[in-house]
Amino acid sequence: MNSPLLLMLSGVGPREVLEQAEIPVKVNIPAVGQNLNDHIWFMIQSFKFNASASPYIPRILEEDLEAAFTTYLETGEGVLGQVEAGPQAFHASSRAIVEGEPAWSDVRITLTTMCPLSFSDDVDSWTACYHMELDRMKSRGSVSLNTTAYLDGVRDVTKLVLIDFKAFDVASDLDVALDG
């Protein structure tokens, strides 16, 4: 997010934005900030486990929590040292197949077993979540300079940046999400 903003503050970027902010134009490059690509991410929760899954569910009993923290801080191991994400599935959507890319997934689905981390030994309360991520969206967003804030003297980059992800601006991205 900061690269396009830094360029614009340096006078490199879309002439209209720079002139609106009264920044001298050194190089007019209209494409600066115009190709923002992000991964849209969904969480589907919570799925309950029954007792047959209990050996596979990371958990910490409340009375063992302090020892678990100590073990992790001293060794980097134990239940807190485990990766939260579990098995992943990579899926090529119908769009990927139609576009001749059936071996290149555009959807990732991850089972997360520590969602939320259970402090209970009651297997009925153990849950998991599924995360779905769209990895190859066609929608492109933009990053620009908040010229009004800049002219008002704001210099905090978090207040100067204007971000428009334009998620699902390309209709087939929503089809991919539904396909996943």
- Of the two residues 92 and 122, the one the predictor is more confident about is 92
Rg (CA), the chain: 23
Domain count, the chain: 2
Do both 59 and 83 map to the same domain? yes
Average of per-residue pLDDT across 89-93: 93
65 shares a domain with 83: yes
* 63 has a pLDDT exceeding 90: no
| Whether residue 49 is found in the same domain as residue 115 | yes
Question: Domain limits at 18?
Answer: 1-38+139-171
Question: According to DSSP H, which parts of the chain are helical?
Answer: 2-9, 15-20, 65-75, 94-98, 147-151, 157-160, 171-179
Q: Are residues 58 and 105 in the same domain?
A: yes
Pair 83, 162 in one domain: no
- Tell whether 95 is covered by a domain: yes
Pair 6, 68 in one domain: no
Share of the chain above pLDDT 70, in %: 80
State which amino acid sits at residue 80.
L
- Mean pLDDT score, 149-167: 95
- Residues 118 and 148 occupy one common structural domain: no
Residues 47-67: what's their mean pLDDT? 69
pLDDT at 166: 94
* CB of 50 closer than 8 Å to CB of 30: no
57 and 67, same domain (yes or no): yes
Task: Band the pLDDT of 34: cuts 50, 70, 90.
Answer: very high
Residues 84 and 101 in one domain: yes
- Least confident stretch, 22-31, 66-75, 84-93, 137-146: 84-93
Greatest C-alpha distance within the chain: 67
